[in-house]
Amino acid sequence: MVQRSNDEIRGDLSYLFDKASQALAARMTTALADLDITPRDYCVLTKAAPGELTQGELAEIALLDKTTMVVTMDNLEGAGLARRTPCPEDRRARIVQTTDEGREVVEKARTVIDGVYEDVLAVLPEKQRAAFLDALVALVGTDGPLSAVEPTPNAPRRRSQRSSRSA
């Protein structure tokens, strides 16, 4: 295995972020696998907790495409963690509710996730840790230079939709 030195990667911000994101995602996926859910399941499940959102609203909050949401909900419903209920006001829509089991799983998952975060951030001294999170929020949060929701570079290309950008 080829390993780059710490000095070398310090100047490669892309690498640092990519690696941090991937490695943490891998740890999260592994940690949540014991509960038989994916990070995305957890994301949707927590946001559905209030129990008054439609599938579409939930998709928007969780930053998922509505078709991706269908797949996610199929899984959650199949696993007995969430339920689709007809919306009284709009018979096209469906309210998403977490089941008792779903709430239990979310609670356990919360503990697991906190443990992972704690474990990861433990390498930073208390004070440095706070400063680190502050900096990250400054970069990623509202009005930060990395807050922009630029078009996903990875998304399937639109069907040649030429010269209709600023029209």
Partner DNA sequence: TATTGTTATACTCTATAACTATA
Partner DNA sequence: TATAGTTATAGAGTATAACAATA
* Binding-site ranges for its own copies (CB under 8 A): 1-3, 5-6, 9-10, 13-30, 39, 60-61, 63, 117, 119-124, 128-129, 131-142, 144-153
Closest CA to 105 of 29, 16, 42: 42
Site membership for DNA, residue 55 (CB under 7 A)? yes
Q: Which residue, chain included where needed, has tokens 């390498």?
A: 123
Site membership for DNA, residue 28 (CB under 7 A)? no
Site membership for DNA, residue 98 (CB under 7 A)? no
Shortest approach of its own copies to residue 72 CB, angstroms? Answer: 16
Specify the residue, 46 or 75, whose C-beta has the smaller distance to DNA: 75
Specify the residue, 13 or 167, whose C-beta has the smaller distance to its own copies: 13
Specify the residue, 13 or 88, whose C-beta has the smaller distance to its own copies: 13
Specify the residue, 4 or 86, whose C-beta has the smaller distance to its own copies: 4
Shortest approach of its own copies to residue 100 CB, angstroms? Answer: 25
Please give the structure tokens belonging to residue 39. 């990070």
Please state, in angstroms and rounded to a whole number, the distance separating the CA atoms of residues 35 and 38: 9
Work out which of 156, 162, 164, 166 binds DNA, going by CB under 7 A.
Answer: 156
